Amino acid sequence: MSTPSGDASLNRPRRERDLDALARGEVVDLLVVGGGVTGAGVALDAATRGLSVVLVEKHDLAFGTSRWSSKLVHGGLRYLASGAVGIAHESAVERHVLMTRTAPHLVAPFPQVVPLLPTVRPGHAALVRTGFAAGDLLRRAAGTPGSVLPRSRRVDAGRVRALAPTVRPDGLRGGLLAWDGQLCDDARLVVALARTAAAAGARVLTRCAASEVSGSGAVLTDTLTGARLDVRARMVVNAAGVWAGQVASDVRLRPSRGTHLVLPQSAFGGLGAGLTVPVPESTNRFVFALPAADRRVYVGLTDEDAPGPVPDVPTPSEPEIDFLLETVNTVLAEPVGRGDLLGTYSGLRPLLDASGERTADLSRKHAVLTAPDGLVTVVGGKLTTYRRMAQDAVDAALRASGADADPCRTRSVPLVGAAARDTLARIPAPAALVRRYGTESVDVVAAAGGDPALLEPLCPGVDTCAAELIFAVRHEGALDVEDLLDRRTRIGLSAADRAAAVPAARAALASG
Ligand SMILES: Cc1cc2nc3c(=O)[nH]c(=O)nc-3n(C[C@H](O)[C@H](O)[C@H](O)COP(=O)(O)OP(=O)(O)OC[C@H]3O[C@@H](n4cnc5c(N)ncnc54)[C@H](O)[C@@H]3O)c2cc1C
């Protein structure tokens, strides 16, 4: 099966045309509230089943939790540890689908190493090794070959230091190496999903807030103009993440905050693998240092109960920052400190409330809830399993409404830009662009219009260029500077880099 053949471009003129069509009273099959990974996945699922779809997002695509993740496509190992074999297998299957069929351009094989230092006692190391072996079994059960994700193994101290040059050499007796999937960026997955849905005919409307949401429609407010619009739909899915309880009042969530630090690669001497650091005094908690785009390393993550009003953009607490720095420094000969920080980011996990339990113990399995009026809410889960969440939500909406549609097809629908790895390797465009845009990287180069300056890094130390900003305005629905710097690209994760890139973002918007 191939990517839907319609127009995948999102931009201001298309947004206006789509709003006009709705204002004329068009009745849609499915209205989706929320443009995170879950809502974009639902829109794609429904559009490729032949349904007419409108996706509305209050701010921008990936404005919520979906841009604040660790950007890993998990094989489900951590769920095995808690005995949740079903969720673990589901994760491994979804990772396989993403890496081999739907998004090989966005998800790369990612090595992660646990350095075996004196703080990791042999019994603990054996436990981790057993877990990694179980992860290999999961991978094989999902059908993922060793050529896509190599099996885990023990490596010697020299190899650990080659992958993580600033790890303490004293007492280092080797390391445990395992492989998982890593997204080039989480927000880019959301944008690719929304654009693929658009290519299948979905209307994708950002800056559109839904209120008075029921099983048969909602009031939409265009936050750019203030105009209000009544939309009627045969089915409605609430995919508003941590805000789902504001859209459907009978849904109760208990958000948990996860924080990451953003550091330069230079502070780690050039990290070639994820560094997995056991949290002292714990056998199953780890802090990760993850090499990322723009020559950065993300260090995460925490799990803090976050009661009270849900902020638009969560912020970390000082103790969370201290905890992450202290933990990662337990394995480093050259410690990192607050002076190295380029930035920090926090996201809220949309966990269903199960009163009394610690947030770390709440189920990460997704839930699909159908209200008496037919409104379907889909929450929980994770980026990795968005496709399955979407399938379950659309199935539930079809059941509730009695409507008919084709079976789910998304297992075999490649997202825009997807191609087999050997095809991607032959694309005549810079490797950093191919990793973010796949086959569309040639269109990003074309957006530079032959001006080589537009393909140069936007500021020293990053690999993002101005042509990406122009492409984002013309084809990825970016409407302002924030969309460009904080979601289509992630240059904004460093305040200094962000400030340097603002003029280029303004120029891209003017040229769009
Ligand atoms: C710190 C952290 C790290 C994580 N790391 C990983 C990881 O490495 N791998 C993984 O698989 N998962 C990870 N997860 C889990 C994953 O990020 C989330 O489960 C997922 O992103 C949730 O997506 P969502 O679409 O449900 O919610 P969101 O991304 O929050 O989307 C909801 C959207 O709804 C919009 N909205 C709200 N109200 C309205 C309204 N009234 N009208 C219109 N729109 C509205 C919001 O603006 C928002 O954009 C992590 C989570 C956290 C917090």
The runs of H, that is alpha helices, within 210-368 are 244-247, 318-329
Asked if 198 contacts 204 with a C-beta cutoff of 8 angstroms, the reply is yes
Helix (H, G, I), strand (E, B) or coil at 181: strand
**Does the N-terminal peptide bond of residue 301 adopt cis geometry, omega within 30 degrees of 0?**
yes
pLDDT-derived band of residue 77, with 50, 70 and 90 as boundaries?
A: confident
Nearest ligand 1 atom, CA 302: 1
d(CA 18, CA 205): 8
Ligand 1 centre distance from Cα of residue 333 (Å): 36
Asked if 396 contacts 370 with a C-beta cutoff of 8 angstroms, the reply is yes
**What is the 3-state composition of the chain as percent helix, strand, coil, each rounded to the nearest 5?**
40, 20, 40
**What pLDDT digit, counting tens, does each position of 106-159 carry?**
999 999 999 999 999 999 999 999 999 999 999 999 999 999 999 999 999 999
Q: Identify the DSSP state of 108.
A: E
Which of 382, 384, 388, 487 gets mutated to test ligand 1 (max ligand atoms within 8 A of its CB)? 382
Q: Is 241 in the pocket of ligand 1 (CB under 6 A)?
A: yes
With b meaning 16 or more CB within 10 Å and e meaning fewer, what string describes 306-325? beeebeeebebeeebbebbb
Asked if 117 contacts 331 with a C-beta cutoff of 8 angstroms, the reply is yes
Total residues found in the chain within this entry: 512
Nearest ligand 1 atom, CA 257: 53
Average pLDDT of span 48-72: 98
pLDDT at 356 over 60: no
Q: Which amino acid type is present at position 314? A: P
**What pLDDT digit, counting tens, does each position of 301-316 carry?**
999 999 999 999 999 9
Ligand 1 centre distance from Cα of residue 38 (Å): 7
Q: Is 347 in the pocket of ligand 1 (CB under 6 A)?
A: yes
Provide the 10 A C-beta neighbour count for residue 369. Answer: 17
Q: Which amino acid type is present at position 299? A: V
pLDDT-derived band of residue 357, with 50, 70 and 90 as boundaries?
A: low
Asked if 208 contacts 227 with a C-beta cutoff of 8 angstroms, the reply is no
pLDDT-derived band of residue 361, with 50, 70 and 90 as boundaries?
A: very low
**What pLDDT digit, counting tens, does each position of 460-500 carry?**
989 999 999 999 999 999 999 999 999 999 999 999 999 99
d(CA 239, CA 246): 11
Q: At what angle do helices 386-401 and 37-47 cross, to 10 degrees?
A: 60
**Residue showing tokens 């710097």:** 485
Q: What is the pLDDT at residue 87?
A: 87
The values of phi and psi at residue 369, to 5°, are: -120, 130
Q: Is 434 in the pocket of ligand 1 (CB under 6 A)?
A: no
pLDDT-derived band of residue 353, with 50, 70 and 90 as boundaries?
A: confident
**Full-prediction pTM beyond 0.95?**
yes
